[in-house]
Structure 1
Amino acid sequence: MKDASSEIPPTEEHPPVFPDRVWWKSPELRKLNFCVLSLLLLSSSSGFDGSLVNGLEDLDSWVSFMGHPTTTWLGSINAIYWIGGFVSTSLAAWICNIYGRKIGIYMGVTLLLAGTILGTAAPNGNAYLGSRVLVGCGFGWIGSSAPLLLNEIAWPPHRGVSSALFMVGYYVGAVISSWATFATRTYTTSWAWRLPTLLQFLCPLIAIPGVLFVPESPRWLISQGRVEEARQVLANLHANNDTTSPFITYEVLDIQGAITAEKEAASSTGYADMFKTPGNRRRLFITVTLGLFAQWSGNGVVSYYLAMVLDTVGITNTRDQLLISACLQVWNVIFATIGASSVERFGRRKLFGTSAVVMLASYIIITGLSRSFDKTGSAGIGTAVIPFLFVYFAGYDIVLTPMLTAYPCEIWPFGLRSRGLNILWLSSISATIFNTFANPIALGAIGWKYYIVFVVVLCFYAIIPYFFYPETRGYSLEHVARIFDGEDAVGPSGKEVLDCVVREGGEGEEEEEKAGSVAQVERV
């Protein structure tokens, strides 16, 4: 007789005994990974935008069309995207809790399409600015719903990596955008910037068939009392439609237990609950600081104003600037993928520490080289900045790209998960809006001296995660709560219930054991 417990994932008291499955050999995991890939592509729109404006700044036709933007006007063009995201993300978090995760994705894709069409056909600068508001609102909806759905449908052994890969799609969009602007740099018509603008919807368009195929979150379904629907979704994605699988029974029990425990611990799941317990206050501190570090660690200067940075070190040729930007985005995809793939192998804390050391060291060198170029005007010194920009982004990519949405999604319990992700985006977008106005003014006024500010921020980045960010490797989405709230934070273990069922079943047939497991789920 096959031991049912061999198909059941572990608790902290039991070693991992997940089924040994190779995803490309398993039909349900092939189906699941198709859904995951589709969700990953949706994050491309934000990365496309960051790289797009950076590249358009080098195109004379776009600069002329937008009225030769500098300082405040240039900052407004960049910031208006994030203002749109800021406005929509809180509404999206509320809607996703009430009506499910998928509606937020549908809203986001619709707004992205509308914004892309308007931007491509824009007759003047104001219309183009309006298109950026729509695109920003679109990503606000997507960024507040897609990471939640991805976390809540992922195959448990792959959840950490799958979730971390979501923001890698950011750089996939950036790669397409940077090479598109490089390819159209010689166009003599407005299609030099209209074509790259049109391509902003390319990845979301490719993702649409998969998005339609993705089911609703089983955790949200269980929270609404729709347990049988949730069991069917989990069975379809994790057990080849076998709803009586002990593994599926365990998942349903575990999710039910965690959601029940949350409801018993608090009468509501509003933003005020984020301040009520020490565990939630720690989660809130982590979420806010992570959002700030993601934008105030110096990357915003290079992401949106690389042309201005390269100008300060003597690299002013349009072709050279666009080529460096395009190569940098390919580099980012590689290292963001490496970081996302390593979260379970090395753990979050080791990656945060490595990231901080690499970023701080390289930024200090960049600052020193920029100062030397400012004093000497040496082309060699200016060129030496480039490899350290790449080193800096390698450090950024391995953690602050993949963990930006993945870490908050896994540390917040279900009832506060959408609001936690909303707080992450509000803090990150606020920092970005400030940067987009401050960075061009500061770079224009004091040049390389502005980099010292980010050196200071990176010192805090090296300290705060070390003392306050816990390791979550090896924990299920439900059991992470034990790190913050203690051993009683989740409900009864599904494995303990199933072990009891198997013991009572003795040496009967496997089908009888599974039937007993299902009956136990219904009683719970």
Structure 2
Amino acid sequence: MSHSSLSKASISEKDHIDGQSVHPLHQEDVSKDKKVVEVNSAALTVATKHGLDPWSRNSLVLYFACFVSFLCSCANGYDGSLMTAINIMPFYQNKFNAGTTGSTTGIIFSIYTIGGLTSPWIAGPLTDRYGRRAGMFVGAIVVCIGSAVIASSDTKGQFIAGRFILGFGVSILTCAAPSYIIEVSPPQWRGRMAAFYNCGWFGGSIPAAGITLGTQKIQSDLSWRLPLIFQCVPCAFVILCVWFLPESPRWLLANQRDEEARAFLTRFHGNGNPDHPVVELEWQEFKENIAIDGADKCWYDYSELYKNKNSRWRALMVLLMGVFGQFSGNGLGYFNTEIYNAVGYDNYMQFVLNLCNSITSCAGALAGVALSDRMSRRKVLVWGTLACSVLLAINGGLSAKWAKMPDDHKTISVGQGAVAAYFFFNIIYSFAYTPLQALYPVECLQTTARAKGMAMYGVVVSLFGFINQFAGPIALKNIQYNYVFIFVGWDIIESLLWYLLAVETVGRSLEELEDVFNSPFPPKAKPKHVVALQNDGHVEIIHHA
């Protein structure tokens, strides 16, 4: 059961008596000095009229919470650039004789995702039972252990075991951290704060590319050991700081800690005013939509992901993002150096390009973050994925032309064009997908299903990450540049599926999305709320669609 079965009501003072809400106003009861408008989200309309001070002490605490969550994502991004770079380091190859492509490299790379496939079954119940902060804390500890194991490796078996532990820990982080950040964010900041979380990929990949660029000149095993040691730095910071953060108010309410949840909303969403209109509306929505006896209270119960049409549509969005976010050609990023080598760049330039690619991709992702509170999810996924297909086709075509040229008559501009197309692919992919990979799934999931839904998302991400990382080296060795064309066709299919199935979530509070997913066909749902804007800034809800 939910906390309350009360109908949604006006948030003006006269519609709340001793905390009890009454029925919404009828339109004919609205006085002439109020402006009646139709809006997508009553909560966001109220939040806009009663904005937060972005430089207040409480806002700074929220920024710090966002930063700690961001660090959880850094661990994952660090691994991507790290393994791309150390895979071509001479001392690493001498130690493990792994090769730069083929099945052995595929195993070393992909065992990370096997760890990621294993831990979600623990991560979801852990995050539901002990809180979002506990999930981040445990995941960070596991990553630090994995970093110690892999950095001290003297055998291939130990190195592989370390990568398994790293993947295990990162998957716990990617279950807990995005759930946490979206649940603590004020409604008007939700998109940017949750989208910024996944930019932690670049917060890890750029330092990793820079560190390996510097250490690749060291004439010893420290050339690859030092970058592996630094992999635990973001997680060490998480371990030290996470318990100083406030817990998610939605988790608190779901676990019957109502006073703490209300105190959070008052402090961080209501400028310290317990009667603030945003606090009143959010509290009402929380009470109506968050169950205290939901499936999150039972570690083995995943029924919230499939028990009715609403749940199944939500789960479908999570699955689509899990698959498409990993299998749109971005998996080639682990093997950037092989692509650069194929079009004629020497070893040093491969390191430089690896760093430059991380920086330009980050710029694309940050542009997506800046627009995430206003940008249509559907449109950016449809057109962004289609653009990715076009750029991969250009990259594949120019790579094919380069490969067919005689070694002594290669036109450097052709190779440069192939690399440029790949750079632009990563920019567009980062703009379209990087902000939404964390934001979209947690938006679509209900509070009582969020941790287990993100655990399911982690399984899908790890599964397709495994395919990328295990099959990628083998495919690059056997069919070389032709591997790119597989993703050209697949991205076109993805664009079509996004057009047909994607549900729009921008411009609504998490609780208001219940109306969207309850509609007959959620991708076409356009429910509206009619509100009256008062001269004093208060907002009265006249009608909930």
**Hey, what's the Cα distance between the residues in 1 that align with 2:262 and 2:162?**
41
Query: Of the candidates 341, 344, 359, which is equivalent to residue 373 of structure 2?
Result: 344
Decide which moves more: 11-20 or 287-296.
11-20
Match of 1:318 in 2: 347
Asked if the contact 1:27–1:240 (Cα under 8 Å) also holds between the matched residues in 2, the reply is no
Letter in 2 for 1:481: E
**Hey, what's the Cα distance between the residues in 2 that align with 1:15 and 1:216?**
22
Matches within 5 A, 1:78-227: 78-227=109-258
Secondary structure at the residue paired with 1:189?
coil
Match of 2:541 in 1: none
CA 462–5 in structure 1, closer or farther in 2 if over 3 Å, else same? farther
**Hey, what's the Cα distance between the residues in 2 that align with 1:66 and 1:85?**
23
Query: Of the candidates 341, 360, 376, which is equivalent to residue 405 of structure 2?
Result: 376
CA 35–23 in structure 1, closer or farther in 2 if over 3 Å, else same? farther
Secondary structure at the residue paired with 1:398?
helix
Match of 1:425 in 2: 458
Residues 1:75 and 2:106 aligned together: yes
Query: Of the candidates 509, 534, 541, which is equivalent to residue 476 of structure 1?
Result: 509
Match of 1:455 in 2: 488
Match of 1:446 in 2: 479
Asked if the contact 1:58–1:322 (Cα under 8 Å) also holds between the matched residues in 2, the reply is no
Residues 1:56 and 2:86 aligned together: yes
Asked if the contact 2:190–2:373 (Cα under 8 Å) also holds between the matched residues in 1, the reply is no
CA 23–193 in structure 1, closer or farther in 2 if over 3 Å, else same? farther
Q: Name the TM-score, length of structure 2 as normaliser.
A: 0.83
Match of 2:27 in 1: none
Asked if the contact 2:69–2:197 (Cα under 8 Å) also holds between the matched residues in 1, the reply is yes
**Hey, what's the Cα distance between the residues in 2 that align with 1:172 and 1:411?**
25
Decide which moves more: 242-251 or 449-458.
242-251
Secondary structure at the residue paired with 2:116?
helix
Secondary structure at the residue paired with 2:374?
helix
Secondary structure at the residue paired with 2:231?
helix
Asked if the contact 2:209–2:355 (Cα under 8 Å) also holds between the matched residues in 1, the reply is yes
Letter in 1 for 2:390: A
**Hey, what's the Cα distance between the residues in 2 that align with 1:294 and 1:285?**
14
Residues 1:297 and 2:328 aligned together: yes
Secondary structure at the residue paired with 2:434?
coil
CA 432–344 in structure 1, closer or farther in 2 if over 3 Å, else same? same
Q: C-alpha displacement at 1:246, in angstroms? A: 4.0
**Hey, what's the Cα distance between the residues in 2 that align with 1:363 and 1:38?**
34
Letter in 1 for 2:88: D
Deviations 1:46-79 (A, max 9, x none): 1100110000012101111122334111011111
Match of 1:28 in 2: 58
Residues 1:360 and 2:389 aligned together: yes
Deviations 1:468-502 (A, max 9, x none): 11211110011112111149x9xxxxx99xx9xx9
Q: C-alpha displacement at 1:247, in angstroms? A: 2.9
Deviations 1:393-423 (A, max 9, x none): 1111012111112111111111211222122
**Hey, what's the Cα distance between the residues in 2 that align with 1:477 and 1:242?**
22
Match of 1:520 in 2: none
**Hey, what's the Cα distance between the residues in 2 that align with 1:433 and 1:3?**
52
Deviations 1:71-112 (A, max 9, x none): 111011111111111111121011212222111111111111
Deviations 1:277-307 (A, max 9, x none): 2232222222212111112111111x21112
Q: C-alpha displacement at 1:342, in angstroms? A: 1.0
CA 103–262 in structure 1, closer or farther in 2 if over 3 Å, else same? closer
**Hey, what's the Cα distance between the residues in 1 that align with 2:341 and 2:52?**
49
Letter in 1 for 2:207: I
Aligned-pair identity (%): 25
Letter in 2 for 1:392: F
**Hey, what's the Cα distance between the residues in 2 that align with 1:43 and 1:293?**
19
Deviations 1:123-164 (A, max 9, x none): 333222222122111111100101101111111100111111
Letter in 1 for 2:248: S
Asked if the contact 2:40–2:507 (Cα under 8 Å) also holds between the matched residues in 1, the reply is no
Q: C-alpha displacement at 1:262, in angstroms? A: 9.2
Letter in 1 for 2:282: E
Q: C-alpha displacement at 1:225, in angstroms? A: 1.3
Residues 1:37 and 2:56 aligned together: no
Number of equivalenced pairs: 487
More helix by share: 1
CA 486–262 in structure 1, closer or farther in 2 if over 3 Å, else same? farther
Letter in 2 for 1:67: N
Match of 1:517 in 2: none
**Hey, what's the Cα distance between the residues in 2 that align with 1:97 and 1:42?**
18
CA 268–437 in structure 1, closer or farther in 2 if over 3 Å, else same? closer
**What's the C-alpha RMSD, in Å, of the aligned pairs?**
2.9
Letter in 2 for 1:278: K
Asked if the contact 2:46–2:278 (Cα under 8 Å) also holds between the matched residues in 1, the reply is no
Deviations 1:160-203 (A, max 9, x none): 11111111001110000011100111100111111111111222
Query: Of the candidates 264, 283, 288, which is equivalent to residue 233 of structure 1?
Result: 264
Decide which moves more: 277-286 or 183-192.
277-286
Deviations 1:234-268 (A, max 9, x none): 2232234444434323322211111149959xx99
Match of 2:36 in 1: none
CA 127–361 in structure 1, closer or farther in 2 if over 3 Å, else same? same
Asked if the contact 1:167–1:405 (Cα under 8 Å) also holds between the matched residues in 2, the reply is yes
CA 5–376 in structure 1, closer or farther in 2 if over 3 Å, else same? farther
Letter in 2 for 1:312: A
Deviations 1:319-368 (A, max 9, x none): 01010000110112111111122122222122213312321110110111
Deviations 1:198-247 (A, max 9, x none): 11122233444442221221111111111001112222322344444343
Asked if the contact 1:105–1:145 (Cα under 8 Å) also holds between the matched residues in 2, the reply is yes
Asked if the contact 2:269–2:279 (Cα under 8 Å) also holds between the matched residues in 1, the reply is yes
CA 40–11 in structure 1, closer or farther in 2 if over 3 Å, else same? same
**Hey, what's the Cα distance between the residues in 2 that align with 1:476 and 1:240?**
19
Secondary structure at the residue paired with 2:490?
helix
**Hey, what's the Cα distance between the residues in 2 that align with 1:203 and 1:263?**
34
Secondary structure at the residue paired with 2:46?
coil
Letter in 1 for 2:392: Y
Higher relative contact order (CA 8 A, sep 6+): 2
Letter in 2 for 1:407: Y
CA 59–14 in structure 1, closer or farther in 2 if over 3 Å, else same? closer
Asked if the contact 1:23–1:30 (Cα under 8 Å) also holds between the matched residues in 2, the reply is no
Match of 1:506 in 2: none
Q: C-alpha displacement at 1:269, in angstroms? A: 9.3
**Hey, what's the Cα distance between the residues in 2 that align with 1:339 and 1:5?**
41
**Hey, what's the Cα distance between the residues in 2 that align with 1:85 and 1:236?**
36
**Hey, what's the Cα distance between the residues in 2 that align with 1:260 and 1:97?**
13
Q: C-alpha displacement at 1:119, in angstroms? A: 2.0
Residues 1:414 and 2:447 aligned together: yes
| Unaligned stretches of 5+ residues in structure 2 | 1-10, 16-38, 523-528, 539-545
Q: Name the TM-score, length of structure 1 as normaliser.
A: 0.87
**Hey, what's the Cα distance between the residues in 2 that align with 1:306 and 1:250?**
49
